[in-house]
Structures are given as C-alpha cells and as structure tokens.
C-alpha cells in the first residue's frame, strides 16, 4: 500500500440540471488527498452507450439512483480499496471486471464513472497538480475551440424543431476568452431578434434559446442574422455547427421531419444537408444520419468530408472499436467524446487514441443533464483534444465549465495556445 492508495469511497445523491437525481462520488487517499466527481446524464442517447442504473418505479419519475449509490458504497468501495489511484488504467479495468456486463448495466455506468473521475481528481490532488496538468503526457498548452449552442431543439426543446443543436464556433478568435466574448454578443442578439420576431418560447435544456419556428431553415436564417447583428463576419470569424441528432427521428434509412411534415430517405437527407452546406457557413455537422445508417454516413463523408467536420455521436458512442471501423469505412471524420457513454476515463481515452491513430478529430462533450462538475474541461485540455462542447452560453451548469476554461487559459498565460481554426483541418475556416 502507498500513500496514494484508496482509503475511502463514498457516494451521495445530488441533482442535475433537470432536477433529476444523479451520483456524486468522493475518493479519499491514504495521504488525505480527496477527489470528487458527478456523473451527467443524456436525453438523446445511442443504443450502444453504457447504461445508467436507475431505480424505476414512481419515485422521481423512476430516475432515483439509490441502487447506483449502493453499488458505489458497497461493491465498488470494497473492490477498489487499497488500489493506487495514480494507476487509472488498473482502477478502471477493475471496475469493468467487477461489473461484468458489456454495458455496465449491473453496477451502473453512473456509479462507475463517478468513481473513475473522482479517483483521477484525487490522484491529481496528491501530486499537487490541477487535473489538466496531471492528465497530460507532456507540457500542455492547447486550449480548445468551443462549440456553443444558441438555439436548442430536438430532445432538448420539446422537439419544437427537428435539429437538436444550432451552435456557433469562432475559428477567427485569438483566444478562448475572445471566443467567449463573441459568443456572448451573438447569444444576446439572438434573443433580441427572436423576441422581436415572436419566435422566443424560453430557454431549452442546455441553455440555448427555445425557438418557435415553422421550418428548420428559419433557425439557420435567424442564426446567420444573429451573427451578423453582433458584428462578426460569417465563415472566417464565426461559423455554424449543427447537431442533427438524426437517430432521434430516423430509422431504417427513413427520416421524419415532424416540423415540416415530410419524410426523407438517406439520399433525401444528403440532398437537404448539402443544400444547407452550400448556403450557410457550416463548419461541423454531428450525427447527420441515424446510428443504423452507416451507408448514409459514408456517402455524406465522401461528398463533404474534405471540407466539413462530420461528427459521430450516437453513431460512435465514444467507442474505440467503432472509431476504427468508421475510419476504415470512410464514415465520419470526427468522434464526440462523452465519458458517460463508456463509463470510465480509460475507455474514453482509448476512443481519443483511436481517433488520433486513424486521422479523426475529436470533441469532448458534456450531456444535456449536467451539473457543476468541470472534469470534461480538464480532459479537453489535458488530453489536448482541441474542441469542447458543453451546451449554451447560459445556465450555471454550462457556465461552470466555460468559466473553468477561462481560469485554465489564464493559468497557462503566454504559453496558452488557442486551437482556433487550426483544429478544423477539414473545414472551410
């Protein structure tokens, strides 16, 4: 046993941004260092994601986590006691083995992930380092380019529009701080324009404006107007990123756009998205096709992969093997990295390593059900991923992460290198 051995593990029920229960874990080491982390939850989820453990029944709508808490405070606490927290790979392997299922359904991915992340925080504290420095293989300086939601849709806004995220990226900014300033102005002008047009219904799950539009293209037009009204040039300074989340309305190669009361096949979706690409400054499109439509992904990537970031979320679920398969088949060119899709930090890192091996880019991402936990900020910087997506520029569970990134950038000082447009190697930025 060493002074970085795990001495104590404890979980408690806390609450996420939807007012639903989630799991927070504390990991204390023999030397007194302590780490804490909270598991997030998604609304639109891939079928191959690791599974949360929820209680079911009527209490809190079935979302209570007393069974997941019991997993941490019982089996997991006993199993990891005495393990060295600085050996993240061995710790995560032990958690995976203990669960014994392919999708972490017995102990719960929410239980396992909270301990995996908390152990990393404890190990970093034991070294006297911020987590991003502890995670880095070498001297870390890369600050990620953010994707920030302006309008929410899909599962994040009562499906008022089919597309889930209408976001901005600021490849022309010189720093994360400047990208934040630009986004704040765009967000403010978007709200004013929507209010003037009678198109504002409130705020969506991730903090973006909840829109009232009659077509999906109206949202794109409004976003362009918001960028221009804020005083920025389209394309080189500020561009658009979309999360189509097509698995939410597509299956078996058919896509039902409820807002416009029409149904498209894969070729029709390609034509629709291609028309948007030709008319709007789109730099990135996430899940343009459903997870069961790899042929659609491949054809779309063949047509646009040289000039556009094509992101797999539900399609790849942060899985290293899926990233390698997609690369071999020419389907997508970027993977979204969500730790709770896999359930451990080590497996998420495996997906990032697979991306680098195959020439894919990556984006570290939050979930729609979030908390004040800022672990993903440190993953994006420590692993030098280059991009980060945490939702909108409003609501404290989002701003906690953007503000943490500002602190990290400030801490690095003149050594900070903002990814900016350089990370969009395939885009027109």
- Write out the catalytic residue numbers: 206, 338
With contact defined as beta carbons under 8 Å apart, do 347 and 92 qualify? yes
Packed helices 109-127 and 345-358: angle between N→C axes, nearest 10 degrees: 80
Cα dist. 357→69, 132, 300, 360 in Å?
37, 22, 22, 8
Helices then strands, each counted (H, E), the chain: 14, 18
**DSSP letters along 171-186, please?**
TT-SSHHHHHHHHHHH
C-alpha span between 216 and 426 (Å, rounded): 25
Q: What is the CA radius of gyration of the chain?
A: 21
Grouping H, G, I as helix, E, B as strand and the rest as coil, residue 69 is helix
Strands 262-265, 254-257: pairing is antiparallel
With contact defined as beta carbons under 8 Å apart, do 382 and 356 qualify? no
Q: The tokens of 145 are what?
A: 């380019």
C-alpha span between 110 and 176 (Å, rounded): 30
In the block, which residue shows the tokens 């970031």? 309
């Amino acid at each position: 046993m060493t002074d970085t051995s795990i001495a104590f593990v404890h979980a408690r029920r806390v609450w996420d941004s939807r007012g639903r229960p989630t799991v927070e874990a504390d990991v204390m080491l023999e030397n007194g260092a302590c780490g804490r982390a909270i598991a997030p939850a998604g609304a639109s989820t891939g079928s191959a994601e690791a599974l949360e453990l929820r209680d079911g029944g009527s209490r809190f709508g079935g979302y209570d986590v007393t069974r997941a808490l019991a997993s941490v405070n019982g089996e997991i606490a006993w199993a990891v006691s005495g393990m060295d927290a600085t050996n993240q790979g061995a710790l995560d392997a032990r958690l995976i083995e203990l669960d014994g299922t392919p999708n972490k359904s017995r102990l719960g991915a929410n239980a396992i992930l909270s301990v995996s992340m908390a152990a990393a925080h404890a190990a970093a504290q034991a070294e006297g380092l911020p987590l991003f420095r502890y995670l880095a293989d070498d001297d870390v300086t890369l600050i990620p380019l953010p994707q920030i939601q302006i309008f929410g849709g899909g599962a994040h806004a009562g499906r008022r529009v089919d597309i889930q995220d209408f976001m901005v990226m600021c490849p022309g900014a010189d720093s994360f701080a400047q990208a934040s300033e630009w986004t704040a102005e765009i967000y403010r002008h978007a709200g004013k324009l929507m209010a003037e047009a009678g198109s504002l219904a409130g705020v969506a799950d991730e903090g973006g404006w909840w829109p009232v539009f009659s077509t999906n293209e109206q949202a794109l037009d409004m976003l362009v107007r918001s960028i221009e009204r804020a005083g920025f040039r389209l394309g080189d300074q500020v561009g658009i990123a979309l999360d189509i989340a097509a698995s939410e309305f597509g299956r078996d190669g058919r896509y039902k756009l409820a807002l416009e009361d029409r149904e498209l096949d894969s070729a029709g979706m390609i034509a629709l998205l291609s028309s948007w690409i030709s008319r709007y400054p789109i730099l990135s499109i996430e899940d343009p096709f459903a997870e069961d439509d790899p042929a659609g992904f491949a054809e779309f990537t063949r047509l646009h992969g040289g000039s556009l970031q094509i992101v797999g979320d539900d399609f790849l679920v942060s899985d290293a093997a899926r990233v390698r398969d997609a690369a071999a088949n020419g389907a997508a060119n970027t993977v979204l990295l969500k730790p709770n899709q896999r359930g451990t930090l080590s497996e998420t890192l495996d997906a990032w390593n697979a991306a680098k091996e195959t020439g894919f880019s990556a984006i570290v991402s939050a979930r729609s059900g979030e908390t004040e936990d800022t672990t993903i900020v440190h993953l994006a910087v420590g692993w030098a991923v280059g991009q980060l997506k945490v939702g909108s520029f409003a609501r404290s569970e989002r701003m906690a992460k953007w503000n943490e990134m500002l602190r990290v950038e400030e801490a690095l000082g003149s050594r900070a290198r903002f990814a900016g447009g350089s990370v969009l190697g395939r885009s027109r930025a």
